[in-house]
Amino acid sequence: MFDIQFITKMNAITRTEFNFKQQRAKYEGKVRDVYSIGDDYLVMIVTDRISAFDVVLPKGIPFKGQVLNQIASSFLDKTTDIVKNWKIASPDPMVTVGYRCDSFPVEMIVRGYLTGSSWRAYCAGAREICGVPIPDGMKEHQKFEHPIITPTTKAEIGSHDQDISKEEIIAQGLVSKEDYEQLEKITLALYQRGCEIAAERGLILVDTKYEFGKRNGEIYLLDEIHTPDSSRYFYADTYQELFDKGEQQRQLSKEFVREWLMENGFKGGKGEVVPPMDDDRVELISERYIELFENITGEKFVKTPYNNDVYERIECNVNNMLARLSL
């Protein structure tokens, strides 16, 4: 069942407690609550939790879960010709139901530009990321000659993802050489598709990450794709002018949340304290996520209201979907 106390006074869903038919287990990620159903299916509820620097922040962001779920659902549908994915259907604005897969223990991060954490590492003297050499003389936000893949391990909540090279992944037996080479090809193809779709919206897909697994011996794309939580976008019309001037890019991502945290002394380090998030800050972040949705998809965002039966709505929609799967 459910408990209305999990809706905050700012109307954000930060926790779910359901007991679906044939439910085997529940996993709480930084943002998503994943329910294992029978042997073959997963129910993923995208909550309004928000994380940065691998830390879940203390307040939820209204409509963030809906934004992420609907963007991911759309992009999953637009990339099935490249790779199969886990999605079966999205029966609720905050929910996706799909196939259970055996996930690979790495995330495939692909970068087209030197920015964000890669730029911070570069400024600190790094000329190699995950075994990939980076030339001297590059500037912030500069485009790489070719997109680079910089994988990480998957961290538990409260821990940090760790950079790892292709060679280390294979040597440690995390992914076989054959599978990893397939993951590289798929990652670059998905990134290229994302760049093409972004260009249609006047955007540049700067960097993003993908998660993969296997089902019946085939590689599947898991989780989500090309959302502002996993991706960074620049506005294409001002990119070159701002780059030439050495100014910051206009971007669509949650980098603005990271920047606010860093300005207030938080980078996820040991002993650091997350700055207070008042209602104005929460509302601002919510508005930015809605802006991200509308710019990335080109569609008007329609808010699904929070009310006293929101958990009943989710439960009913999921149960109806599971019934169609003969569960």
Q: Which one, of 53, 50, 76, 54, lies nearest residue 197 by Cα?
A: 76
Greatest alpha-carbon pair distance for the chain in Å reads: 59
pLDDT at 154: 81
Q: What is the pLDDT of residue 251?
A: 85
pLDDT given at position 294: 95
**According to the model, what pLDDT value does residue 161 have?**
75
Q: Where are the alpha helices (DSSP H) in 140-176?
A: 166-171
Tell me the C-alpha to C-alpha distance, in Å, between residue 146 and each of 49, 106, 188: 34, 22, 10
Q: How many CB atoms lie within 10 A of CB 312?
A: 13
How much is the pTM?
0.89
Tokens representing 166?
């292709």
Q: Is the pLDDT of residue 310 over 50?
A: yes
User: Which pLDDT does position 6 carry in this prediction?
Assistant: 44
**What's the pLDDT at 256?**
86
> What is the rounded average pLDDT for all residues in the chain?
92
Q: Does the pLDDT at position 287 exceed 60?
A: yes
CA distances from 300 to 67, 77, 168, 197, 199 (A): 11, 19, 44, 17, 19
Q: What is the pLDDT of residues 6-25, one digit of tens each?
A: 444 458 999 999 999 999 99
- Per the listing, tokens 């209204």 go with 62
Hey, what are 263's tokens?
């300005």
**Which contiguous run of DSSP H or E holds residue 85?**
strand 84-85
- According to the model, what pLDDT value does residue 155 have? 64
Residue-wise pLDDT tens digits, 192-210:
999 999 999 999 999 999 9
Query: Cα separation of 205 and 46, whole Å?
Result: 23
Q: Over the stretch 244-283, which tens digit does the pLDDT of each residue have?
A: 999 999 988 888 898 899 999 999 888 899 999 999 999 9
Whether 127 contacts 159, CB under 8 Å? no
Report the pLDDT averaged over residues 21-41: 95
Which domains are assigned to the chain? Answer: 4-101+280-324 (3.30.200.20), 103-260 (3.30.470.20)
pLDDT average, residue stretch 96-104: 97
Q: With b meaning 16 or more CB within 10 Å and e meaning fewer, what string describes 174-211?
A: bbeeebbeebeebbbebbebbbebbeebebbbbbbbbb
